[in-house]
Every structure is written in C-alpha cells, then in structure tokens.
Amino acid sequence: MKRRDMLKFGVAGGAAAVAAPALAQSQPTIRWRMQSSFPKSLDTVFGGATTIAQKVSKLTDGKFEIQVFSAGEIVGPLQVLDAVQIGTIEAGHTAGFYYIGKMPALVFDTGVPFGMTPRQHNAWMRYGGGLDLMRDLYKQFNVVQIPCGNTGAQMGGWFRKEIKTVDDLKGLRMRAAGFLGSVFSKLGVVVQQIPAGDVYPALERGTLDAVEWVGPYDDEKLGLHKVANNYYAPGVMELGASLCFIGNEAKMRELPAQYREALEAACAEANLDMLAKYDAYNIQALRRLLAANVQLRFWSNDIMKALQTATAEAMQDFAAKDATFAKVHQHWKAFRDDQVLWSAVNDGAAERFLAANRG
C-alpha cells in the first residue's frame, strides 16, 4: 500500500473512530424493568437475567439499562407473562411451561418429558423452525420471546420414601411444573405447581411428599436434602429446560436496531453461560449431597417405561383438544426423532462407551 493510501486509510479510520462515540451519544437512553420467575438465591438460573442486563448495558455504553427484579418483587413468579403482556413491566425472565394453563403449546418452549437435550433444543430453535413457531405463539400475548438459558438434564426429584414400583407413586403429593404434572397425574400422583420459595416449607410441613426442581446445585441451595432423602435419576422427564426472555411487543418495536441486536447477543451469551455453569457445578454439588447421606437412586426400567407411556397419552390428550398443540407437537416430534437417531449413531453411543470405560 502506498504511503498516501495509508494516510488516506488512517484518516478514514480515525474519522470512524471519532464517529462511533458520537453515534452512541445520539442513541436514546432507555430504562426497562425485568422480573425473573426465580429467586436471587438460585444464582445459576436467576443469574441468566443479570447476565442479560449486564451485557446489554455494556454493548450499548450504558444507554440501554435493564433493572432486574427477582421472583415476587413486582408480581408473582408465575404472573411474569401477564405483567409483560399488559405492560406492567417491559420484560420478563421465565419459562414457557409455567403458562400451560394459558396455552398448552408453550410447554415446547421449555421442554417436555422424553424430549430433547439442550443441544437438540437449540438446533430445533435455530435451524428447525422452532423459534418461528414459538414466537407466533407468544405474539398472541403481545410479547416477543428470545431463548436465554438452559438448565441441562434435571434430576428425577426428591422423595420421602423409596419408589420401587409404579404403584408406589400413587397418592403421592408432588410438586411438578408444567407438562410434567399431567404425566405424573396419569400415574396417580397428586400434583401441585408451586414456586421455588414455597417448596422447602411444603416438604418440611409434610404437605408435599416429593419435589421435582432442577438438579444438585440448585436443589442443595434450596435445602431439599434436609427434608427428603431419596434423590432420583436419570432425568428422563426433563432432558433440558430452556428459559426465555420475553419483551413487551410494543416496547420491543421501539428499540433502536442496535439495542435489539445487543439484546439478542446478550440472550445468546446467557443461553451458553447458564448451561456451562450447571454442567460445571452439578457434579460438585452431587458429591456434597452424597457426603451428607443422600441416597442416590435410579428409576427402574418399568417406572421409566410407565412414565414414557403416560407422556405419550398426555400428548395425545392435549393434541385432541388443542389444534395448536397438535401442530407444534407434530413439528417438534419429527425433529426430535431425527435427533435421537443421530445421537444413537454418534454422540450418544460415544458417551455411553465413555461412561462405562473411563480411561
């Protein structure tokens, strides 16, 4: 490059550098409130909300600020969608399956029993058409959805007594969220859906016999091992639970393009970060729980088959009553079935060998 061309390039580059702050200064200052459905004590799942807010602020030089509130600070943990829909708050950090009573198909935004792993769910969302389907559903509530986290596979839950047969589930009073409740109900379980902050007291008082929450790291923080000693795996009921950012549609339209891009990028980072944290922290927490005399137990094949059958029946029930659920389920299942085949050929087969033959 000739010297005069270098000088010309340098001048142009310098002008751009000067223009960038000026451009940032020309952007409006925007302040939003966002409430999570989760308490601050669960730093991994609630931490996704703070990750989003911090990243958005950084990417917009502090011009777009999101103030984060924990569960219950503005509205109830399970009323976040309502609050965003009517504009009480501009944004929410929540999980679609909490709103099964409003629209059953929203459970696919989070995950269903015998469903997809986080990787498979992300693939469905990004390249399988899942995101378009979910956004069409949320649009009916005047909100825009952005995936923003995943817990990974969740444990089967905490039980006061050992579960040896399917009959042992009958009559149990259990906390199970979303679609899980419909499945357990088919096996005779009396299901309750209550937020995180009420789980421990309910177990302690004996108003619950069992609780399904997340996994070792979060469950240890809630102290569930102190009031129920039998901890079940594997997490066939939730191979992953995807969280979502939801923004009021009118407020989202008002965002400058740069701010919308910053929000999308922040949610993508939160999506990656949350799963990484759970993968790193769960095994450490499980070791601590086992040292505290927790009994790690595994579902029998008979129980898992019964749960799988009950899941298929529940799917059929919802699909028969709800055309939207049927449409999304058909689309979701076709993608899931292909992913299961691919896993059987490659990743899943390799992981099973590694688990049995650690070198």
Please provide the DSSP assignment of 102-128 as one string.
T-GGGHHHH--TT---HHHHHHHHHHS
* pLDDT tens, position by position, 222-240: 999 999 999 999 999 999 9
Report, as an integer, the average pLDDT of 241-246: 98
Q: Which residues, in sequence order, are CB contacts of 104 under 8 Å at separation 6+? A: 179, 318, 322, 324, 325
Give the 3-state DSSP-derived string for 45-96, with helices as H, strands as E and coil as C: HHHHHHHHHHHHHHHCCCCEEEEEECCCCCCCCCCHHHHHHHCCCCEEEECH
- If one counts the domains in the chain, the total is 1
Tell whether 160 is covered by a domain: no
Q: Residue 154, annotated ligand binder? A: yes
Closest CA to 87 of 246, 263, 266: 246
Tell whether 178 is covered by a domain: no
pLDDT for 79 beyond 90: yes
Q: Residue 351, annotated ligand binder? A: no
pLDDT for 185 beyond 50: yes
Tell whether 60 is covered by a domain: yes
Tell whether 35 is covered by a domain: yes
Q: Which residues, in sequence order, are CB contacts of 176 under 8 Å at separation 6+? A: 157, 184, 189, 191, 192, 193, 212
Closest CA to 160 of 231, 78, 217: 231
Kindly indicate the confidence band of residue 199, based on its pLDDT and cuts at 50, 70 and 90: confident
Could you give the CA distance from residue 82 to residue 75 in angstroms, rounded to a whole number?
9
Average pLDDT, the chain: 92
Tell whether 301 is covered by a domain: no
Report, as an integer, the average pLDDT of 62-74: 98
Report, as an integer, the average pLDDT of 262-277: 98
pLDDT for 14 beyond 50: no
Kindly indicate the confidence band of residue 197, based on its pLDDT and cuts at 50, 70 and 90: confident
Q: Residue 213, annotated ligand binder? A: yes
Report the pLDDT value the prediction gives residue 162, as an integer from 0 to 100.
97
pLDDT for 5 beyond 90: no
Note down the domain range covering 258.
Answer: 27-151+240-280
Q: Residue 3, annotated ligand binder? A: no
Could you give the CA distance from residue 311 to residue 305 in angstroms, rounded to a whole number?
10
Tell whether 328 is covered by a domain: no
159 is written with which tokens? 């039980």
**DSSP letter assigned to residue 240:** -
Report the pLDDT value the prediction gives residue 16, as an integer from 0 to 100.
38
Strand partners, 296: 231
Report the pLDDT value the prediction gives residue 264, as an integer from 0 to 100.
98
Residue 80 · residue 93 · CB < 8 Å: yes
Report, as an integer, the average pLDDT of 187-211: 90
268 or 1, higher pLDDT: 268
Angle at the Cα of 317 from the Cα atoms of 192 and 102, rounded to 5 degrees: 55
Residue 311 · residue 113 · CB < 8 Å: yes
Kindly indicate the confidence band of residue 24, based on its pLDDT and cuts at 50, 70 and 90: low
CATH number at residue 133: 3.40.190.170
274 or 14, higher pLDDT: 274
Largest CA distance in the chain: 85
Tell whether 2 is covered by a domain: no
Tell whether 168 is covered by a domain: no
Residue 330 · residue 190 · CB < 8 Å: no
Kindly indicate the confidence band of residue 242, based on its pLDDT and cuts at 50, 70 and 90: very high
Closest CA to 69 of 91, 44, 96, 99: 91
Report, as an integer, the average pLDDT of 74-81: 96
Q: Which residues, in sequence order, are CB contacts of 41 under 8 Å at separation 6+? A: 221, 222
Q: Which residues, in sequence order, are CB contacts of 268 under 8 Å at separation 6+? A: none
Could you give the CA distance from residue 114 to residue 154 in angstroms, rounded to a whole number?
12
Q: Residue 90, annotated ligand binder? A: no
Report the pLDDT value the prediction gives residue 6, as an integer from 0 to 100.
37
